[in-house]
């Protein structure tokens, strides 16, 4: 239903790891205070700057310190194959929605197809959340079929901002391909306006969910005003809601179409309940139980910061 291989870094990309570069050092800033009265300390309020080595930010520096490959890497660019799949997916959606409108006109029946489309929009958000939860928490790169998507989501948690640099067709092609295979037969065979209305809107929301997701990582000043208005109105998943997904404890706000299901699912701990059931049935622990979830810690440096740091060394 929902296939995302966009964030996976190409082998070539990994091979650009700065073989000759020492590990980067990031600075962490802590503000520490004490309320002890018995042993007052001269620097009770102190700013402690601690430098510690962390994992090499291997994907942002080339061996010759050129512009970060994060921005120039071909894995972020659209290919003609990507564009062709997006065009095919959009054609599929137009056929499905066109069939729905044609059937509605022939039967003079509008309420039911519109209602079906609205239900499709609501359920697409739920589907995006369930799928996102599943691949965030279970399996790995070797998992059949969805392995690349699991790796991709791990990469997205590490470098969330790269999604804003990814070109449109590059970001959507995997979903467009899935929609084409799943929906085109339905669109061509069934001519029920209600079914076509549901399928067309639901699959359309799923196909474009990666674009909604990318917008949720954008900044308000750089997003189109209409997108900001739709986010603020709750039609599209909001920046604040999805931002919470990228902060500890990394186990909430999984839905990325409208986000309308997030509050309900998180308030009632639906995913936590599903994790418990799976754990007692299979013994498999979800990734979100791991503390700390180091693989989900975001590398906060931007390419320009890394490049500047590399040149200073
Ligand atoms: Zn996630
Ligand atoms: Zn995200």
How many angstroms is it from 58 CA to the middle of ligand 2? 20
- Tokens 């080339």 appear where? 62
pLDDT at res. 290: 83
pLDDT for 123: 97
Distance from residue 217's CA to the centre of ligand 2 (Å): 6
Q: Is residue 41 part of a domain?
A: no
Assess if residue 60 is contained within a domain: no
State the residue range of the domain holding 176: 77-312
pLDDT tens by residue, 186-205? 888 888 999 999 999 999 99
Task: Tell whether 153 is covered by a domain.
Answer: yes
| Distance from the alpha carbon of residue 24 to the mean position of ligand 2, in angstroms | 25
- For 136-146, write each residue's pLDDT tens digit: 999 988 999 88
Residue 48 lies in a domain: no
Specify if 22 maps to a domain: no
* Distance (Å) from CA 158 to ligand 2 centroid: 10
Number of domains the chain is built from: 1
Residue with the bigger pLDDT between 248 and 270: it is 270
pLDDT score at 51: 44
Distance in Å, CA 256 to ligand 2 centroid:
8
The Cα 266–Cα 259 span in angstroms is 11
Residue 6 domain flag = no
User: Rounded mean pLDDT of the chain?
Assistant: 78
| Token pair in block for residue 245 | 């997904």
20 is a domain residue: no
- For residue 265, report the distance from its CA to the centre of ligand 1, in Å: 15
Residue 219, Cβ neighbours under 10 Å: how many? Answer: 9
Cα(108) to ligand 1 centroid in Å equals 43
| Contact call for residues 30 and 48 (beta carbons, < 8 A) | yes
Whether cis (ω within 30° of 0) applies to the bond prior to 91 is no
The answer to whether residue 225 sits within a structural domain is yes
Distance 244 CA to ligand 2 centre (A): 9
């Amino acid at each position: 239903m929902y296939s995302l291989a966009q964030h996976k870094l190409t082998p070539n990309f990994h091979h650009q790891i700065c073989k000759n570069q020492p590990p980067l050092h990031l600075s962490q800033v802590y503000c520490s205070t004490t309320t002890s009265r018995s042993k007052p300390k001269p620097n009770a309020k102190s700013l402690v700057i601690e430098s510690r080595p962390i994992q090499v930010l291997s994907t942002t520096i080339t061996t010759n310190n050129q512009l970060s490959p994060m921005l120039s890497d071909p894995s972020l660019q659209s290919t003609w194959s990507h564009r062709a799949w997006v065009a095919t997916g959009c054609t599929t959606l137009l056929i499905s929605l066109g069939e729905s409108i044609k059937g509605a006109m022939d039967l003079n029946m509008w309420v039911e197809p519109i209602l079906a489309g609205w239900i499709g929009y609501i359920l697409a958000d739920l589907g995006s959340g369930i799928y996102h939860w599943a691949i965030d928490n279970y399996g790995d790169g070797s998992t059949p079929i969805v392995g690349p998507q699991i790796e991709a989501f791990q990469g997205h948690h590490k470098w969330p901002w790269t999604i804003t640099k990814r070109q449109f067709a590059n970001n959507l092609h995997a979903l467009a391909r899935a929609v084409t295979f799943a929906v085109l037969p339905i669109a061509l065979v069934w001519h029920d306006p209600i079914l076509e209305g549901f399928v067309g809107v639901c699959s359309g929301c799923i196909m474009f969910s990666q674009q909604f997701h990318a917008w949720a990582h954008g900044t308000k000043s750089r997003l189109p005003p209409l997108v900001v208005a739709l986010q603020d109105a709750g039609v599209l998943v909001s920046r604040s809601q999805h931002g919470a997904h990228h902060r500890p404890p990394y186990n909430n706000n999984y839905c990325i179409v409208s986000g309308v299901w997030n509050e309900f699912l998180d308030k009632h701990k639906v995913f936590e309940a599903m994790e418990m059931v799976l754990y007692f049935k299979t013994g498999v622990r979800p990734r979100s139980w791991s503390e700390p979830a180091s693989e989900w810690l975001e590398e906060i440096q931007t390419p320009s910061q890394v490049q500047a740091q590399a040149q200073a060394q």
